[in-house]
Structure 1
Amino acid sequence: MSTRTALLSAEAVAALSALAHPGRLEVFRRLVAAGPQGLAAGEIARTTGSLPNTLSSNLSILTAAGLTQSRREGRSIVYSADFGAMRGLLAYLMEDCCGGRPEICADVSPACRVELAP
């Protein structure tokens, strides 16, 4: 395994591990649905029913895994999904799992079309 492949594999494991928790997956799904504008932390807490300390922990783990990013808007912290990281994870999984043969995974999901690197 090359160093780059090992690094990508470690990044994929971190991202998948972060998403393996039901609460974090719910937060990530809501951020993806919200689009690039994201959601304020308070709005995420209200819509998911998360306690502030639990939400803070979940957002920290998602951010450390490279799946979310945050920005300050006035007094609020707004979180958004990192769509580039999400596409990169999907592309890595498609490439790795399909063994470089995109035809194997071509029909995985029409909603999940990811261009693989040549």
Structure 2
Amino acid sequence: MAERLASLGAPIRLRIIRTLVRAGDDGVPVGELQRKLGLAASTHAHHLAAMVKAGLVLQERRGREVICTAAFDAVRSVGAYLIEHCCADTATENRSEAA
């Protein structure tokens, strides 16, 4: 989980994952993603590689293009982890404050 959270630790990476989540299962070709985000090819490749390694982004060759998609189960697991482990005491705190 630490690797997944770390891979989201840059604003551009959050923009990448948000773009891919919005694209859904169709994904976005690498070149189009690079143009949409206005990144240099080397910078773009560096950030995508980190997110692929963390399991948050999937890449698939379709013909001559490489399509990037969000790994939805992995993205959901990050949210679930944060809610379960980082907000676990919130319900208890809210009950004690109400009493």
User: TM-score under structure 2 normalisation?
Assistant: 0.85
Query: 1:22 offset after TM fit, Å?
Result: 1.3
- For residues 44 and 13 of structure 2, the distance between their equivalents in structure 1, rounded to whole angstroms, comes to 8
Per the alignment, in what secondary structure is the counterpart of residue 94 of structure 1? helix
- For residues 29 and 76 of structure 1, the distance between their equivalents in structure 2, rounded to whole angstroms, comes to 21
Identify unmatched segments of 5+ residues in structure 1: 1-10, 105-118
Q: Which has the higher relative contact order, 1 or 2, with Cα contacts under 8 A spaced 6 or more apart?
A: 2
- For residues 27 and 98 of structure 1, the distance between their equivalents in structure 2, rounded to whole angstroms, comes to 26
> Which structure features the higher share of helix residues?
2
- For residues 11 and 75 of structure 2, the distance between their equivalents in structure 1, rounded to whole angstroms, comes to 17
Q: Is 1:70 matched up with 2:66?
A: no
Instruction: State percent identity of aligned pairs.
Output: 36
- For residues 15 and 87 of structure 2, the distance between their equivalents in structure 1, rounded to whole angstroms, comes to 27
- For residues 25 and 12 of structure 2, the distance between their equivalents in structure 1, rounded to whole angstroms, comes to 21
Which residue number in structure 2 is paired with residue 96 of structure 1?
Answer: 85
Per the alignment, in what secondary structure is the counterpart of residue 36 of structure 1? helix
- For residues 36 and 90 of structure 1, the distance between their equivalents in structure 2, rounded to whole angstroms, comes to 19
Tell which structure's C-alpha radius of gyration is larger.
2
Which residue number in structure 2 is paired with residue 84 of structure 1?
Answer: 73
Query: 1:98 offset after TM fit, Å?
Result: 3.0
**How does 1:46-57 map onto structure 2 within 5 Å?**
46-57=35-46
Which residue number in structure 2 is paired with residue 25 of structure 1?
Answer: 14
Moved over 2 A (4+): none
Residue 74 of structure 1 aligns with an amino acid whose one-letter code is G
Aligned length: 91
